[in-house]
Chain A
Amino acid sequence: MTGTLTDAPPPEKEAAPTPLARVRRFLPVLGSLQGYIGLVLVVLIGIVTKGDVFLNETNLTNAVGAFSSRGILAVGVTLVILTAGIDLSVGSLMGFCSMAAALLLVNEQMPVWQIIPLCMLAGAAFGLINGIGTSILRIQSFVMTLAMLSIARGLDREMSDNVSVGTQVAKPDGTLTPESEAFQKLGTPGNNVFEGTWLPLVGKEGIYFPVLAFVVVCIVFHLMLSRSTFGRHIYAVGGNPTAARLSGINVTFVIIAVFTLSGMLAGIAGPIDAAYSASADPLAGNSYELDAIAAAVIGGASLAGGKGTIVGTFVGALILTLLDNVLGLNAVSDNWQLVIKGSIVVLAVVLQRPDLFRRKEKIA
């Protein structure tokens, strides 16, 4: 990164049209091969040890649903990581938005279709500040978002008076208010959306909203990254900011945009998390940023920027959540779960080093 164009990676040679080369060309889009190996391994362990109990729609839905809010955060974090930045504030932003959602529901009886856009707006506003601090004020993103982690948590706790807020608001006759009933659809266990409509794969039972939201967010952002000019600009900024600037990309705009999007995604994750535990806790989202970063990194994102995909992050999130599920189903003790999960992160990152089995690259 000395500021000359010659530092840009050499263009890939036209691969010979062998089947293997074709698969290779798809890999950058689909994430890293090692990621899939990990996923397959976890699934195999699940099937071998627990069989039907593991490979069962309800179980998989529960597992992915429990991780969904963190998965959505991981998508935002991936965007930031692609520009060689980091976003440590997503957990706190999600906590803020989950509390905001619960308070809007309980105090204002606001319908859910108004709560979500408002939360997205609030999250995006925090993200915008992160972006401005990082790009215009030139504060390192680690420092800027670490500060935001603290600011958002403080506001969250102030707003809530440190008390959790339940989202199941009952009318005098004991039944839930219509707004609260609708809010449950966002992820309170036992509630699905699109019940009664016939859907491919799931039939008439409907879909568990957290799972749907996570998958849709992944698809939308995957398309944005892989198909749009903006997506290419994100990779360019992360790969070599100087080169990107020289080729006419508005680097400042790209950086502000990715932080804003990351904050906005925290705004989607917030209400889902509040619905999942039927209450917003002033501590909700604590250390979620670490799970989100872990998912991105297991999925092949490089903290140096320019490398990583949404599909990879999706796979990384699946590995983390299914691993947690398999360990839980097998009654592995919590202490060993921590050890195993940490080891998996290290293993995944080591496996993804392209130079692992080759000669060492010269240090730039």
Chain B
Amino acid sequence: MRRTYSVGTVAAAAVLALTATAGCSSEAGEASDAGDKNQDEFVVGYSQANNAEPYRAQLNLQLKHFIKKYPKLKLLPIADAKQNSATQVSQMQNFIQQKVDILIVSPNEPAPLTPAVTQACEAKIPVIVLDRTVNTDCYSTFIGGDNYEIGKKAGERAVKALPKGGKVAELRGVLSSQPQIDRHKGFADAIKGHDIEVSAQREAKWLRGDATKIMQQWLQRGEDFDLVYGHNDDMALGAQLAAKSAGKDKDMKFLGIDGLAIPSGGIRAVQQDKLEATYLYPTGAEEAAKAAQDIAMGKDVKKKQVLPTEEIMSDNAAEIYEQFDMSGKIK
């Protein structure tokens, strides 16, 4: 098994290396000193933690879209680590071997990816860390949303929606993941001191089907809620489906997070009145593309860019959907 894997990795690396050589043929081939304005092409490598999450798929699309706006930037095929930190480390090392000019990474986990980021820094490749952090600060810039802030906003909405207090159900993401921890804590802090009780909570693993099943069990048990808070839109919508089948969806309000501009995403659900509100978790793709351009042009970039969220309710949903809709803009 191991043997097959290593052969596969070598083959993949070889293919990647070939593509890179083809792509970089115009360059002198030395480690790039980013900031050389006379260079006519800057090769950008992007290592994604997992293509299969809708949020990350959307991020990939947006990044391709926004990088095209800068003619000097050339994005290599996006490397998908498939939720495996070891895979991601080796993909990062491939990019370093290829001597890309700028490296963008969305780390799967902070600790295992830290040495790879350090390696890139030592090879004098500027690194843009997107969405999740690493335990070193040698990178050029960090761009990401603030999950604690998002959870807090959702909590404040709950306080407004339930002026007389009430019971809340919370559907949590994978318990060990940082976004889950922050979205949970932000919400808890915001409702503190108000007459709002989280009377039921469970891990629904970010999945719609799991949330439906859990909500059905709660309702069966005789629990009643005034509001359901899902750590992402999928879980909030799964719970909404279960409540609807029990004829109780109109007695409850549903809050989700992510606000993806795709037909099955949260913004559409707000427009269809299934969700009371969802909170934009910005992908940072536009900012990452801009940061890459600035680095290439030798401009200074901010070390840390925390992207603001936006509360999406029925009055602004259509406009935000339009803004982030990537269908038809790529390919």
Chain A residues within 8 Å of B, Cβ to Cβ: 50, 53, 56, 58-59, 62, 66, 106, 157, 161-166, 170, 174, 188-191, 273, 276-279, 281-284, 325, 328-329, 331, 334
- The reply to whether A189 and B263 contact each other, CB–CB distance below 8 Å, is no
Which residues of chain B (15-54) have a CB below 8 Å from chain A?
51-54
Between-chain CB contacts (< 8 Å), 27 pairs: A53-B221, A53-B222, A56-B220, A62-B220, A66-B209, A66-B216, A161-B61, A162-B56, A163-B262, A164-B264, A166-B264, A188-B245, A189-B212, A189-B216, A189-B245, A191-B245, A273-B209, A276-B212, A277-B208, A277-B209, A279-B264, A282-B57, A283-B207, A325-B217, A328-B217, A329-B220, A331-B200
| Choice from B51, B58, B234, B242 contacting A189 with Cβ under 8 Å | B242
Q: What's the Cα separation between A331 and B221 when bound, in Å?
A: 10
Q: What's the Cα separation between A161 and B222 when bound, in Å?
A: 40
- The reply to whether B241 and A189 contact each other, CB–CB distance below 8 Å, is yes
Q: Which residues of B contact A191 (CB under 8 A)?
A: 245
Residue of A at shortest CB range from B60?
Answer: A162
The 3 residue pairs across chains A and B that have the minimum distance between CB atoms: A190-B245, A166-B264, A189-B245
With A157-B51, A329-B220 as given contacts, are A277 and B212 in contact (CB-CB < 8 Å)? yes
- The reply to whether B221 and A329 contact each other, CB–CB distance below 8 Å, is yes
Q: Least Cβ distance of A168 to chain B in Å? A: 8
Residue of A at shortest CB range from B330?
Answer: A161
Interface string of B205-229 (1 = CB under 8 A from A): 0011100111011001110000000
Q: What's the Cα separation between A62 and B217 when bound, in Å?
A: 8
| Choice from B57, B207, B245 contacting A163 with Cβ under 8 Å | B57
Residue of B at shortest CB range from A273?
Answer: B209
Residue of B at shortest CB range from A160?
Answer: B57
- The reply to whether A334 and B202 contact each other, CB–CB distance below 8 Å, is yes
- The reply to whether A164 and B51 contact each other, CB–CB distance below 8 Å, is no
Residue of B at shortest CB range from A334?
Answer: B203
Q: What's the Cα separation between A281 and B58 when bound, in Å?
A: 14
B238 within 8 A of partner (CB): yes
| Choice from B216, B241, B268 contacting A278 with Cβ under 8 Å | B241
Which residues of chain B (232-280) have a CB below 8 Å from chain A?
234, 237-238, 241-242, 244-246, 262-264, 268, 272
- The reply to whether B234 and A164 contact each other, CB–CB distance below 8 Å, is yes
**Interface secondary structure of B, over-half rule:** helix
Q: What's the Cα separation between A279 and B260 when bound, in Å?
A: 15
- The reply to whether B214 and A328 contact each other, CB–CB distance below 8 Å, is yes
- The reply to whether A66 and B213 contact each other, CB–CB distance below 8 Å, is yes
Q: Which residues of B contact A334 (CB under 8 A)?
A: 175, 202-203
- The reply to whether A188 and B209 contact each other, CB–CB distance below 8 Å, is no
Q: Least Cβ distance of B11 to chain A in Å? A: 16
Q: Which residues of B contact A329 (CB under 8 A)?
A: 217, 220-221
- The reply to whether B52 and A283 contact each other, CB–CB distance below 8 Å, is yes
Residue of B at shortest CB range from A192?
Answer: B245
Q: What's the Cα separation between A56 and B217 when bound, in Å?
A: 12
Residue of B at shortest CB range from A321?
Answer: B213
Q: What's the Cα separation between A189 and B222 when bound, in Å?
A: 18
With A189-B245, A278-B208, A328-B214 as given contacts, are A166 and B221 in contact (CB-CB < 8 Å)? no
15 other A-B residue contacts (CB within 8 Å) besides A53-B222, A162-B60, A282-B54 = A62-B217, A162-B52, A162-B54, A166-B264, A166-B268, A189-B212, A189-B242, A189-B245, A190-B244, A277-B207, A279-B234, A281-B234, A328-B214, A329-B217, A334-B203
With A189-B216, A189-B245, A190-B244 as given contacts, are A281 and B208 in contact (CB-CB < 8 Å)? yes
Residue of B at shortest CB range from A106?
Answer: B263
Among A66, A162, A170, find the residue whose CB has the most chain B CB atoms closer than 10 A: A162
With A157-B51, A161-B57 as given contacts, are A277 and B217 in contact (CB-CB < 8 Å)? no
Residue of B at shortest CB range from A60?
Answer: B220
With A163-B262, A189-B241 as given contacts, are A170 and B52 in contact (CB-CB < 8 Å)? no
Residue of A at shortest CB range from B262?
Answer: A163
- The reply to whether B220 and A59 contact each other, CB–CB distance below 8 Å, is yes
- The reply to whether A162 and B51 contact each other, CB–CB distance below 8 Å, is yes
Among A59, A170, A174, A278, find the residue whose CB has the most chain B CB atoms closer than 10 A: A278
Q: What's the Cα separation between A27 and B203 when bound, in Å?
A: 40
